[in-house]
Amino acid sequence: MTHKINKLQSTTGNQQPEIADPKPPRILVVDDDEQIRRLLGRMLDREGYAFTLAADGTEARKCLESQAFDLVLCDVNMPGESGIDLAGYIGSHYDNTALIMITGVDDPNVAQSAIDAGTYGYIIKPFNPNEVMINIRNVLRRRELEIANRKYRESLEQMVEERTVQLREAMEGIIRAMSLTIESRDPYTSGHQQRAARLVRAMAREMGFSREQTQGVYLGGMIHDIGKISVPAEILCKPGRLSDIEFSLIRLHPRIGYDILKEIEFPWPIAEMVYQHHERMDGSGYPRGLSGEDILLEARILGIADVVEAMSSRRPYRSALGVDSALAEISENSGKLYDPDAVKACLKLFRQKGFTFDQ
């Protein structure tokens, strides 16, 4: 079908460039009755619609594959694939294509099946041509609104997603800055939180955490010692054995870290991870003496990473004990002090997958 062309003339009589009319909606007519197909084709032609005729579902599918249609007019009972099945196929494969049933089946149950399959209308034969054209115009308008609304929602969702990414990146930057601030007060443990966080992230992946959960536990690892900001630097850097009072001040850091972080609305339980990372499975940890399942799994993982990194590294009061000693510690106390599944993941990373803190 050829499209009409408007030829605009200027007031001086000079011919202006030809401007094509807006592309008319394209409609596919599917009916095994040739007379009905031709009748509908003539009606659509009079109204200026572009159309294609198909005799059954197989032919209709070929048409749909070769070009885009705004609307399909379809019979219910046809040889081979029924109109209801074709409607379901169109609904699942062609989001921007609407469908109207035009059929001699005057059955409420069939009509309901057609509606459930995603049709926009159900017209009984013999039909009134005006009724058909009114339905077509209304459905095309509805389709345009739905497409516009869907595009708007997709655009809005993209904007929200982009903004969320920006906020996450800003939050991660703040967490890294906080981590560096803490470690700048204690040169002997510089890098401890970053190294422990990398191990935590690897353990979370090994244990099947989602990407979102893994990111949360990694960020918790980055600031798990934030509470040490309240501990005097001379205690953190003391080369000799700590007194009972000094050690009691050190033991306060999980609670202080929790108090610092608890009012921040993280999408992960970071404040509780920090609060619980020195708790132990048998209840012998601190500061609350939690045990077993009462300890967050993220905190159980973080506690192991904290121990392994600390034992592997040099401290002001001792030389580095090494990774082997650290792995022996968590292995010997698996199930008693440390979560056995987390211990298993940690051992596998070091012994089978070649994890190192330099990664």
Q: Where are the domains of the chain?
A: 5-155, 184-351
pLDDT for position 10: 33
pLDDT confidence of residue 156: 86
**Tens of pLDDT along 72-87?**
999 999 999 999 999 9
pLDDT higher than 90, residue 341: yes
Q: Which has more confidence, 21 or 85?
A: 85
What are 352's two structure tokens? 């089978």
Q: Residues 248-256: contacts with CB within 8 Å, 24+ apart?
A: 251/278, 251/286, 251/287, 252/227, 252/287, 253/225, 253/226, 253/227, 253/228, 254/227, 254/278, 254/286, 254/287, 255/227, 255/287, 256/226, 256/227, 256/229, 256/230
Question: Class for domain 5-155, per CATH?
Answer: alpha beta
Q: Is 316:237 a contact under the CB 8 Å cutoff?
A: yes
Query: What's the mean pLDDT in 208-214?
Result: 94
What is the reported pLDDT for 168? 75
How large is the average pLDDT for residues 21-49? 90
Give the mean model confidence (pLDDT) for residues 193-211. Answer: 95
To 5 degrees, how large is the angle CA 17–CA 22–CA 23? 120
Higher pLDDT pick, 317 / 66:
66
Give ∠ CA 212-215-216 in degrees, rounded to 5.
Answer: 90
- CB neighbourhood size of 316 (10 A): 13
CA angle 72, 78, 84 (to 5 degrees): 55
Average pLDDT over residues 223-252: 84
pTM beyond cutoff 0.75? no
**189 band by pLDDT with thresholds 50, 70 and 90:** low
* Average of per-residue pLDDT values in the chain: 87
pLDDT of residue 205: 96
User: Given pLDDT bands bounded at 50, 70 and 90, which one contains residue 339?
Assistant: very high
pLDDT for residue 15 is more than 80: no
Q: 184-351: which CATH topology?
A: Hypothetical protein af1432 (1.10.3210)
pLDDT of residue 204: 97
Between CA 23 and CA 4 the distance in angstroms is 9
CA distance 138 to 98: 11
pLDDT band at 337 (very low <50, low <70, confident <90, very high): very high
**Residue 9 pLDDT > 60, yes or no?**
no
